[in-house]
Amino acid sequence: MKDPIKFELTTEIPDHIDQVLVPHFQGTEIDNSWIPGGVIGGFSGKHREICALLVQQQQQQQVVFLLGLGKESQLLVAYRTFRQFIDNEKTRITSILMVDLRHLPESVVYQCVLGLSLSDYSVGVYKTENDESHLLRQVQLLVNQKTSDFVAQVDEARHTSMVMKSICALVDGPGNFKTPQYLGQWAQESGKSNGYRVEILDHEALEQQNLQALLAVGRGSEHQPILIKAVYTHVDKDSSKIDLGLVGKGVTFDTGGLSLKKPTNMHYMKSDMGGAAAVLGAIELIARLELPLNVAAIIPVAENSVDALSLRPGDVIQSHAGKSIEVIDTDAEGRLILADALSYIQQQYSPDVLIDLATLTGSCVATLGHEAAGLFTHDDTLADSICLSGDHTQERVWRLPLWESYQDALYSDIADVKNLSGKPVAGAITAAKFLEFFIKDEQKWAHLDIAGVAFGDTGHARMKSATGFGVRLLVDFARSLISK
């Protein structure tokens, strides 16, 4: 990964600056101090409005960009506007840019740094020719005073952007590179660099631990499944107590198995480990920020492929929880590996709160589109906390029901439960009900179906690409646990 953009807080305007960015909210007074004569025709600050002006300042010419951030109510998504600005103007932006933030709320500093830092992410890492001649390398943030709060905002935004870019690269990576073993190695390197423990359970260890559902899903691939165990403990906390447990679906490529997917969009199934990426990103960012809580993350990783050994529709398999599962559809494999992971994390760590994330169902996309993840939990307080974190980060969630009446759809004549209802309705709900089957009664648990928000039309690539959804949501939620 290329060197990140450098950010500097300053209260002084240098003698020479070639380019200045002056963002404004719609309906606020325009700061015209950079414009000789103060004449700015037509600029109103509307969302993503850009006005580029070539001005003469004493003996030098400057390019002054006016950027519309939209209404002040859009502050929490301002980072997207800053990122889009660089996408739009990258051929005109030279290596150094000054951003005048003196007339804006203090919280814009975080949004600005996050957005500009994310702007240097590119999906084209495998291109033999990648033009980097017009890349922003340094940003000077002009503020009224360099406070400790500003410094903290810059640091957190930088850490957040680095993690988000890293996990986006994981999700966007092709399946032939991104094997289960690659994901395990990524986690080990991240843990070593950022101060959390990582252990990998290989095929033999999975058998010893009776993770039969995970083994069943991965047996049709030449790349054997693994289980990633990642644990972060704060120095001031009792390491035996886990405050937050995270589980992320890690299907590195999903053909659908013998229940083969249609070929039209199968190339996008490299993204079916978006939940794993979000969980790995969240624990890394929590470790980078040294948040005072203990977190355990379990990531079941497999490739769902087609082979003589592949799982068949109609097969009955066992699970870590000791419950039998009738496999109706091998393309409903994500819930199988999650079942083992959820059972395992409860047995090994008994977390106070347990959240799983998965690109699980097309049904959730049909219900909520690409605006929100589906949230499933029986705990009203937990639901409210996650929804609030979704609002804070604009990684939104919407609660859907887990009523007992949906359970009948998963009744099996020959096993404890079946993995698909077979009905063309309520697919996201019955998938969540299947996972609930492996949750202990006393466990505080929530499931997030992120199929519609982890990967899609981002506007930063011609094809669908990773969004980084989930990292900021989980870290904000972790902070809410600390405050309690």
- CA of 475: how far to CAs of 271, 311, 363, in Å? 22, 36, 27
How confident is the model over 356-415, as pLDDT tens digits?
Answer: 999 999 999 999 999 999 999 999 999 999 999 999 999 999 999 999 999 999 999 999
d(CA 46, CA 44): 6
Q: SS3 for 228?
A: strand
Query: Which residues are registered as beta bridge partners of 356?
Result: 247, 447
As a dihedral over the C-alpha atoms of residue 180, residue 435, residue 332, residue 428, rounded to 10 degrees, the angle is -120
Q: What does the pLDDT read at residue 133?
A: 53
What number is the average pLDDT over the span 322-338?
98
What number is the average pLDDT over the span 66-74?
95
In the predicted model, is pLDDT for residue 2 greater than 70?
no
What number is the average pLDDT over the span 308-337?
98
In the predicted model, is pLDDT for residue 147 greater than 60?
yes
Q: What percent of the chain has pLDDT over 90?
A: 86
464 is catalytic: no
Q: Please, what is the average pLDDT of the chain?
A: 95
Q: What does the pLDDT read at residue 402?
A: 98
Catalytic residue among 46, 261, 323, 479: 261
**Residue 423 one-letter amino acid:** K
- CA of 408: how far to CAs of 37, 142, 422, 427, 478, in Å? 73, 61, 12, 13, 34
d(CA 459, CA 121): 12
Query: Residue 460's Cα: distance from chain center in Å?
Result: 16
**pTM value?**
0.96
Residue 250 CB neighbours (<10 A) = 35
Q: What does the pLDDT read at residue 300?
A: 99
How confident is the model over 3-53, as pLDDT tens digits?
Answer: 789 999 999 998 888 999 999 999 888 877 888 766 567 789 999 999 999
In sequence order, the 6+-apart residues with CB closer than 8 A to the CB of 133 are none
Instruction: Give the up-direction half-sphere exposure of residue 201: CA atoms within 13 A in the CB hemisphere.
Output: 20
Helix or strand holding residue 360 (H, E) = none
CA-based nearest residue to 53, from 38, 71, 73 = 38
**Residue 61 one-letter amino acid:** Q
In the predicted model, is pLDDT for residue 441 greater than 80?
yes
How confident is the model over 214-260, as pLDDT tens digits?
Answer: 999 999 999 999 999 999 999 989 989 999 999 999 999 999 999 99
How confident is the model over 99-125, as pLDDT tens digits?
Answer: 999 999 999 999 999 999 999 998 988
Residue 396 CB neighbours (<10 A) = 17
d(CA 299, CA 345): 10
Q: What does the pLDDT read at residue 196?
A: 98
396 is catalytic: no
Q: What homologous superfamily is domain 178-483 in, according to CATH? A: Zn peptidases (3.40.630.10)
What pLDDT band is residue 168 in, cutting at 50, 70 and 90? very high
- Determine the angle formed by the axes of helices 274-289 and 148-172, rounding to 10 degrees: 150
**Residue 170 one-letter amino acid:** L
Radius of gyration of the chain (CA): 24
Residue 356 CB neighbours (<10 A) = 27
Q: SS3 for 23?
A: strand
How confident is the model over 40-59, as pLDDT tens digits?
Answer: 677 899 999 999 998 877 77
What pLDDT band is residue 444 in, cutting at 50, 70 and 90? very high
Query: Which residues are registered as beta bridge partners of 228?
Result: 200, 299
In the predicted model, is pLDDT for residue 130 greater than 70?
no
Query: Which residues are registered as beta bridge partners of 199?
Result: 229
Where along the chain do the CATH 3.40.220.10 domains lie? 6-124+135-161
Instruction: Tell me the H-state helices in 48-202.
Output: 78-89, 108-118, 148-172, 180-194
Catalytic residue among 335, 418, 433, 472: 335
The CATH number of 6-124+135-161, from 3.40.220.10, 3.40.50.620, 3.30.565.10, 3.40.50.720, is 3.40.220.10
- CA of 237: how far to CAs of 51, 170, 286, 390, 404, in Å? 51, 31, 14, 27, 38
Residue 36 CB neighbours (<10 A) = 11
Read off the DSSP letter of residue 452: T
Q: What does the pLDDT read at residue 484?
A: 75
Strands 353-358 and 444-449: parallel
Task: Assess contact for 116 and 139: CB atoms under 8 A.
Answer: yes
In the predicted model, is pLDDT for residue 132 greater than 80?
no
d(CA 384, CA 279): 20
What is the total residue count of the chain? 484
What number is the average pLDDT over the span 266-283?
98
Top pLDDT among 334 and 1 is at 334
d(CA 4, CA 138): 9
What number is the average pLDDT over the span 201-206?
98
Where along the chain do the CATH 3.40.630.10 domains lie? 178-483
